[in-house]
Amino acid sequence: MIAATQGYFELCRVRRIPVRLHWSFPLGAVLPGLFIGFRPAQSIYLCVGYILLIGVHEAGHSIAAAACRLRVLRIDITGFGGMCWTESPRSPKAALALYSGGLVAQSLLLLVTVVAIALLGRPPTLFLNCIVFMFTFVNLILFVGNAIPIAQRDDSHPTDGFMIWNVLTWMRKNRP
């Protein structure tokens, strides 16, 4: 049985790291779906694409954390993004790598998707069209939104851009 904790349920574990979905995760697919219309299968495919997109972003943070020898505690996916919970970075360079990891992963996903479309042409199925839509159009929107340095009022979930900006500002001020 899957136990729900604070609106989350554990989707799977990757290398013993829990990957959790929040009840709101379908919103991340439904809202972009407003641009292209709705069919029942399409809504499901967009949800799959959204989970994969956010999963790739959070996996980028997770890989960067592992490269910096930081422990990853869990990955959460919600209707408005995700969060990779890790140990605190031990150096400014580790912080820069950690906070950039998701954006780098998104960039690579976009590049691979665009190259695949250029080589293979338009996807032949609704499922693949939904995946391509999420990996290109929605990916770009989320990338830009996440790269802009914005802090929440309560500082609970600042964007990666905000964290990167803070690290770069600190590094510039504290140069030897």
Q: Give pTM, 2 decimals.
A: 0.89
Torsion, Cα of 105, 78, 76, 8 (10° steps): -160
Q: With a cut of 50, which residues of the chain have pLDDT below it?
A: 1-2
Instruction: Give the Cα separation of 139 and 90 in Å (integer).
Output: 30
State residue 136's pLDDT score. 97
State residue 4's pLDDT score. 56
State residue 154's pLDDT score. 61
Instruction: Give the Cα separation of 33 and 53 in Å (integer).
Output: 15
Instruction: Give the Cα separation of 117 and 120 in Å (integer).
Output: 5
Cα separation values, 172 from 46, 87, 165, 167, Å? 41, 24, 10, 9
State residue 6's pLDDT score. 81
State residue 86's pLDDT score. 95
State residue 11's pLDDT score. 86
Each domain of the chain, given as residue ranges in start order, spans 7-173
State residue 79's pLDDT score. 83
pLDDT in tens, 24-67: 888 777 776 666 666 778 888 988 999 999 999 999 999 999 99
State residue 153's pLDDT score. 63
